[in-house]
Structure 1
Amino acid sequence: MVSSRHADVQVGDASRLFDGRRLTLARQLIGLRKNALAAKIDKSPTAVAAYENNTKRPAPVTVAQLCLTLGVDPGFFLPGPHQLTASDPVPHFRSLRSTTQLARDQAFAYGVISGDVGAALERHVEFPEPNLPQLSVDVDDESSDLPEEAARLLREHWEISSGPVGHLVRLAEHHGIVVVFSPVQTAAVDAYSFNDGYRPTVVLNPTKEDYYRQRFDVAHEIGHLVMHVDAEPGSKVVENQAHRFAAELLLPENELRDLLPSKADWRSLAALKEAYGVSLQALLYRSRALGVMSDVTYRNAVAYLSSKGWRRREPGEMPAVEQPSLYPKAVEILQSVGMNELSLAKESRVTPGIFRTVTARHPVREDLFLDPQKTDAPDGAIPLFRSVVDHPGK
Structure 2
Amino acid sequence: MKQGVPLPESAFLGKLRLIGGLPHPLAVALHKGVAFIARPDGLDAVNGYQPASKPVTITPEHRPLLKLDNLMGDNPAEAPLITSAGGKTLALSALVTKVTGAGTTRSHDVVELMATDTATATKTWFTESPLPAGGEHSSDRAEANVVGRAGHLVVVFGRGRLFGVDLKSHQRVWTAEGTYKKGAAVVGDRLVALRGNPAGDSQVVGLGAADGKDVWTSPRSGLGLSTAGPDAVMTYEYPTDDIRDRRPYLLDAATGRTRRALPEGAPSPDCAYDGAAVTVCTGRAGVDDAVAAYDPKNGKEIWRLPDAAGNRIAPKVTLVRAGLIYGMANGKPVVLDAASGKDKETRPGIAPYVADGYVGISETEDGDGLTAYRAVG
Is the TM-score greater than 0.5?
no
* Rg (Cα) greater in structure: 1
Q: Which has the higher helix share?
A: 1
Question: What is the TM-score with the length of structure 2 in the denominator?
Answer: 0.27
Q: Which has the higher strand share?
A: 2
Question: What is the TM-score with the length of structure 1 in the denominator?
Answer: 0.26
